[in-house]
């Protein structure tokens, strides 16, 4: 019998995991893992949904930034009809369920993260990802939380690297709050030599019913493998989130002020589309946001110190999650169907990317104007300034100096 039926144990496992964990078949009890395409079509109905699109054969030095993509609205049924004929990959990605479905719909009623030990997380905390083969998210780190992903239709590949992996070329351009992107193009790159020596990677392919735990800060590149792919995810809070929010608020002030006096076309290249209003945000509002998260962080630090002092005075302190959870024992029990995401060698990583190039790339095609316009390479100095100020060692020092003056 699987010990993962114990919700408290799974919660402790998630809290203490330091490597990506694969829960094989763990959400196979979710009805949506067995829904047909017709069922999904009925669920969406005639509602037009926006898809981010780009030609499948696009080869570039840079990743396929969102700014390079076009947007097309269509019904789910129309989208399904394009799967075998379209020259583009399409992605309806990062959409919260409560923004697209009423509370009385079947999917809204059934989504729950209770079996992961988080009964308070449900459809309002859940995002939906619907895409075609080749649709992907550029490699990036989430600065907040722990990511739990549930695969419900089709196969999806995840390539992951530890937070401090050298050679990932982190950048905050294009800027998106809470995301640090990599400049490496894992989809169809012009130059494979940039991947030489990149080590520490892990790879997993998720099938319907599988779930994946992505620990805080792990780099991840995610690509759909099957013609139709559907997944759900939730971000769970982490003890370091309060500190990260202060850093993010400081970086946001920097990016907003840089964007304010630049030509509109240039400023748009600096940010992802969902941040287009950043230059219009009043400085007073940005400082209010910084003040709010700084106060929350300092309050959490004071609370943490009080709890630590209290525990040192107790003869029999309450066991922590880490004391309750023997990760190795859980992994060793085959009944749990729990795996650590498999390590991938540098050679195998490069071969995966080569396979992508063989499947999708058309090196003889010239770029059209929109694709060229989406590049960030011509933002050399501006980008260098933002990235230099946003480096963790710099922003941490700024944060430390600021908080010492506020406390």
When computed from its CA atoms, the radius of gyration of the chain, rounded to whole angstroms, is: 22
Query: Which residue, 162, 170, 167, 165, is CA-closest to 140?
Result: 170
Instruction: State whether the Cα torsion 367-368-371-375 is positive or negative.
Output: positive
What the chain holds in terms of domains, given with CATH numbers, is 3-238+328-369 (2.60.120.10), 242-313+377-406 (no CATH)
Would you call 153 helix, strand, or coil by DSSP?
Answer: strand
pLDDT for 316: 54
Handedness of CA 280, 169, 344, 162 (dihedral sign): negative
The C-alpha atoms of residue 28 and residue 16 are separated, in whole angstroms, by 24
pLDDT digits over 276-320, tens only?
A: 999 999 999 999 999 999 999 999 888 878 877 777 676 555 544
State which H helix or E strand residue 13 sits in: helix 7-16
Tokens 């969902």 sit at which residue?
A: 274
Q: Is the Cα dihedral 6, 9, 15, 16 positive or negative? A: negative
Instruction: For residue 362, give the 3-state DSSP assignment.
Output: coil
Beta strand extents in 143-267 (DSSP E only): 146-153, 156-161, 170-176, 179-182, 202-206, 211-214, 219-224, 229-236
pLDDT at 377: 62
Residue range 41-71, pLDDT digits in tens = 999 999 999 999 999 999 999 999 999 999 9
Residue 365 is classified by DSSP as P
Task: Give the pLDDT confidence score for residue 309 in this predicted structure.
Answer: 76
Task: Spell out the per-residue pLDDT of the chain, length 407, in tens.
Answer: 788 999 999 999 999 999 999 999 999 999 999 999 999 999 999 999 999 999 999 999 999 999 999 999 999 999 999 999 999 999 999 999 999 999 999 999 999 999 999 999 999 999 999 999 999 999 999 999 999 999 999 999 999 999 999 999 999 999 999 999 999 999 999 999 999 999 999 999 999 999 999 999 999 999 999 999 999 999 999 999 999 999 999 999 999 999 998 998 889 999 999 999 999 999 999 999 999 999 999 998 888 788 777 776 765 555 444 446 778 888 888 999 999 999 999 999 999 999 999 999 875 655 554 554 456 666 889 999 999 999 999 999 999 999 999 98
pLDDT for 376: 65
């Amino acid at each position: 019998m699987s010990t993962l039926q114990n919700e408290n144990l799974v919660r402790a496992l998630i809290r203490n995991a330091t490597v990506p964990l694969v829960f094989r078949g763990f959400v196979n009890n979710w009805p949506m893992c067995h829904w047909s395409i017709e069922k999904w079509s009925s669920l969406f109905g005639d509602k037009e949904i926006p898809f981010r699109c780009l030609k499948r054969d696009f080869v570039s030095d840079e990743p396929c930034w969102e700014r390079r993509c076009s947007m097309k609205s269509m019904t789910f049924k129309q989208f399904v009809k394009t799967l075998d004929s379209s020259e583009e990959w399409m992605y309806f990605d990062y959409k919260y369920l409560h923004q697209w479905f009423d509370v009385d719909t079947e999917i809204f009623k059934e989504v729950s993260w209770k079996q992961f030990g988080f009964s308070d997380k449900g459809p309002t905390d859940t995002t939906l990802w619907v895409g075609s083969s080749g649709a992907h998210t550029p490699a990036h780190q989430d600065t907040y939380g722990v990511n739990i992903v549930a695969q419900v239709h089709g196969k999806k590949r995840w390539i992951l690297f530890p937070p401090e992996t050298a050679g990932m070329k982190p950048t905050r351009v294009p800027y998106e709050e809470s995301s640090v992107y990599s400049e490496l193009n894992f989809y169809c790159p012009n130059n494979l030599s940039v991947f030489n020596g990149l080590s520490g990677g892990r790879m997993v392919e998720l099938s319907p019913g599988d779930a994946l735990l992505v620990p805080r800060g792990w780099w991840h590149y995610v690509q759909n493998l099957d013609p139709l792919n559907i997944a759900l995810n939730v971000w769970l809070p982490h003890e370091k989130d309060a500190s990260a929010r202060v850093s993010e608020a400081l970086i946001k002030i920097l990016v907003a002020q840089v964007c304010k006096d630049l030509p509109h076309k240039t400023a748009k290249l600096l940010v992802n589309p969902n941040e287009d209003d950043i230059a219009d945000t009043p400085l007073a509002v940005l400082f209010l946001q910084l003040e709010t998260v700084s106060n929350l962080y300092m309050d959490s630090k004071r609370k943490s110190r009080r709890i630590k002092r209290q525990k040192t005075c107790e003869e029999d302190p309450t066991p922590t999650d880490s004391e309750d959870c023997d990760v190795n024992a859980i992994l060793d029990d085959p009944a749990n169907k729990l795996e650590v995401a498999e390590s991938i060698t540098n050679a195998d990583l490069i071969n995966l990317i080569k396979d992508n190039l063989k499947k999708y790339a058309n090196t003889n095609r010239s770029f059209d104007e929109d694709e060229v316009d989406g590049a960030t390479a011509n933002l050399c100095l501006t980008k260098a300034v933002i990235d230099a100020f946003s480096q963790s060692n710099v922003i941490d020092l700024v944060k430390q100096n600021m908080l010492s003056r506020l406390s």
